[in-house]
Amino acid sequence: MDVVVTGLGVLTPFGRGAERTFDALVAGRTAIGPITRFDASGHRSRIAAEVTDLEAGNDLPPGDERTFDRFQLMAVLAALDAARDAGLGDGPLGDRAAAIVGTGIGGLETIERNHATLAAKGPRRISPYFIPAAIPNLAAALVSMRLGARAICVSPASACASGAHSIGEALWALRVGRIDLALAGGTEAAVTPLGVAGFGAMRGLSERNDEPARASRPFDRGRDGFVIGEGAGILVLERADHAARRGARVRAILAGYGASADAYHITQPDPEAAGMARSMALALEDAGLAPADVGYVNAHATSTPLGDRLEAKAIRDVFGAKPPPVSSTKSALGHLLGAAGAVEAAIAILALERGMLPPTLNQEDPDPQIELDVVPNEARPHAARFAISNAFGFGGTNATLVFARP
C-alpha cells in the first residue's frame, strides 16, 4: 500500500508556511544573522538562524506560550498548518491517527531558565511546568492533544536525524496497517546560551561572525562549521486508500526509507562513509528504484569540513560517476538539528512539485574533493520524478527518505 503526503507544515526562520520558506530559498535569501535572543558577545560563534516571530494567535490556549518550551510550541503550530494543508481542519483525528515528532535536544531553554532560578532563589521557586516543558516527548504529546490524534504518540531522539527518522517510522507503521494517518516530523529550539556554547566548545560552529550571510557554505572549500538554527517541520502522511476515501490532495508519495548506523564514533562519521551510503542504498531498495531514477538529492551537508566531504563520497559511491544535482539548504536556513530532516523533506517535496531546485549558497571556492553538481548560488528549473533527502546525526545515525511526484 502506498503512503502519501497530503499536508506540509513548516516553521523556520523565514516564517510560518512551507511555501514561504521554499520561496525564500529559491530567491537566494538567507535567514542567518547575529544572535538576538541573548547576549552572545562572549561566544565563539555569535550567529544563528532564529525564529523571530512565534505568535500563536488563536492556535493555542491562552497561557500555553508562557507555559511550554519553544520547541513544543513550534511543533504544534507546524502540525496545525500541516493538518489544515491536508484538509483535516483542527481535529479531532481519532484512534488511528498518530503523532510522531522527534527532537534532538528538547527543552534546553526551559532547563537553563529553571537552573538559573534554582541557583538564585532555591528549589521552591522552580516552575511546576519545568519537567513537562523540558522533556522531549511533550512535543508529540501536545500535537496529539491539540489535534486529537490518539494512536501512537512517540518522540524519536536521534540527534540531527530525528525528524527524518520520525517520518520513516511513521511510514512503516502506515504500511503494516497499525494506523491510517500520521503527523510526523521534528522540532528544535536550541539557540540558547548553553546550546551555542556547547556546540562552540566542540568547534562545530562557524566563527565567521562578521559575515553571517556568508557563514554557512556547504561543500565550499572555505567552510568552517555549521550555523545553528531552529524551527519545526511536520508532514501529514496517510495510507493512499485513506487519502482517496476523503478526496485528499496528494502532494507526494513517500516511496522509501533507509536507516543505518555507523557504529564508529560519538560525533565523527565513519571515514569510509559506509553508513551514509548504506542508508541511501536501503532507501532506494525500499522504493524499488535504481540510482539513475533519482533526479535530486537534498543533502544533509551542514558546512563542516569532514561531514560534507564524506557525504559527497557516499553520494558518489551510491550514484556513480554522474550523481543527480545535490543542494544543501542549510546554506540559507542554518542547521535546524532535530527539525532539519523534516523541514528538508518538505523542501524536497516542493522541489518535485514545482520543478525547481533550491541552491547551495556561498559557493565561492569549490572544494576539489567534492565532485558534485551542488546547484551553486542560484535556483535551477529541473523536472524530477524522484528526490531523496538525507539526515545524519551524532552517534553515527543515518536516515534517508525517498519522495516521488504523484
Catalytic residue among 43, 165, 242, 335: 335
| Strand, helix or coil for residue 336 | coil
Q: Would you call 335 a catalytic residue per the annotation?
A: yes
Output b/e per residue, 178-194; b: 16+ Cβ within 10 A. Answer: ebbbbbbbbbbbbbbbe
Residue 90: φ, ψ to 5°:
-105, 20
Q: Are 129 and 64 in contact (CB under 8 A)?
A: no
68 neighbors 189 (Cβ within 8 angstroms): no
C-alpha cell at 198: 556547547
Task: List residues bridging with 226 in a β-sheet.
Answer: 205
d(CA 299, CA 400): 10
Give the β-pairing of 294-298 and 386-393.
Answer: parallel
SS (HEC) of 26-42: HCCCCCCEECCCCCCCC
Pairing of strands 356-357, 380-381: antiparallel
Residue 57 makes CB contacts below 8 A (sequence gap 6+) with none
Cell matching residue 275: 553508513
300 is known as an active-site residue: yes
Strands (E), 13-128: 15-16, 33-34, 47-48, 97-102
Integer CA distances (angstroms), 122 to 114, 119, 127, in order:
10, 6, 11
The residue annotated as part of the active site, out of 153, 160, 165, 242, is 160
Residue 122 CB neighbour total at 10 angstroms: 9
Per-residue cell: 132: 513537562
Query: 3-class secondary structure for 363-382?
Result: CCCECCCCCCCCCECCCEEC
Secondary structure (3-state) at 253 = strand
Q: What angle do CA 189, 263, 105 make, to 5 degrees?
A: 10
Active site residues: 160, 300, 335
